[in-house]
Amino acid sequence: MASIRELHQQLVKKERSAVEITQEALERIQALEPQLHSFLCVTADRALEQAGAVDAKIAAGEEIGLLAGIPVGIKDNMCTKGIPTTCASRILENFVPPYESTATQKLADAGAVMVGKTNLDEFAMGSSTENSAYQVTANPWDLSRVPGGSSGGSAAAVAAQECVVALGSDTGGSIRQPASFCGVVGMKPTYGLVSRYGLVAYASSLDQIGPFGNTVEDAAILLSAIAGYDPKDSTSLKVAIPNYAASLKPNFKPRGQLRIGIIKETFGEGLDSVVEQAVTKAVDQLQSLGAEIHIISCPRFRYGLPTYYIIAPSEASANLARYDGVKYGYRAPDADNLLSMYTRTRAAGFGTEVKRRIMIGTYALSAGYYDAYYLKAQKVRTLIKQDFEKAFGAVDVLVCPTSPTTAFKAGEKTTDPLSMYLTDLMTIPVNLAGLPSLSLPCGFDEQGLPIGLQLIGNVLREDQLFQVAYAYEQSTSWHLRKPQIS
Cα(174)–Cα(168) distance, integer angstroms: 8
Scored b (16 or more CB within 10 A) or e, 390-410 reads ebbeebbbbbbbbbbbbbbeb
Does 174 qualify as catalytic in the annotation?
yes
Cα(437)–Cα(461) distance, integer angstroms: 9
Does 150 qualify as catalytic in the annotation?
yes
Candidates 38, 101, 151, 174; catalytic one: 174
46 residue type, one letter: R
Please give the span between the terminal C-alpha atoms of the chain, in angstroms, as a whole number.
13
Cα(162)–Cα(25) distance, integer angstroms: 5
Name the burial class of residue 449, with classes exposed (0-12), middle (13-18) and buried (19+) by CB atoms within 10 angstroms of its CB.
Answer: buried
Does 238 qualify as catalytic in the annotation?
no
Backbone angles phi, psi at 331, to 5 degrees: -135, 130
Candidates 89, 150, 151, 224; catalytic one: 150
For residue 166, give Cα distances in angstroms to 3, 4, 340, 402. 13, 12, 40, 19
92 residue type, one letter: L
| Cβ-contact 349, 90 below 8 angstroms | yes
Cα(147)–Cα(140) distance, integer angstroms: 8
Q: In what order do the strands lie in the sheet with 165-169?
A: 39-42, 113-118, 71-75, 165-169, 209-213, 185-188, 437-444, 450-457, 397-401, 259-263, 292-296
Q: How many CA atoms, within 13 angstroms, populate the side-chain half-sphere of residue 102?
A: 20
How many Å is the Cα radius of gyration of the chain?
21
453 residue type, one letter: L
Query: Which residue in 351, 346, 318 sits closest to 88, CA to CA?
Result: 351
Cα(137)–Cα(131) distance, integer angstroms: 10
Candidates 17, 38, 75, 89; catalytic one: 75
- Residues annotated as catalytic (active site), given as ranges: 75, 150, 174
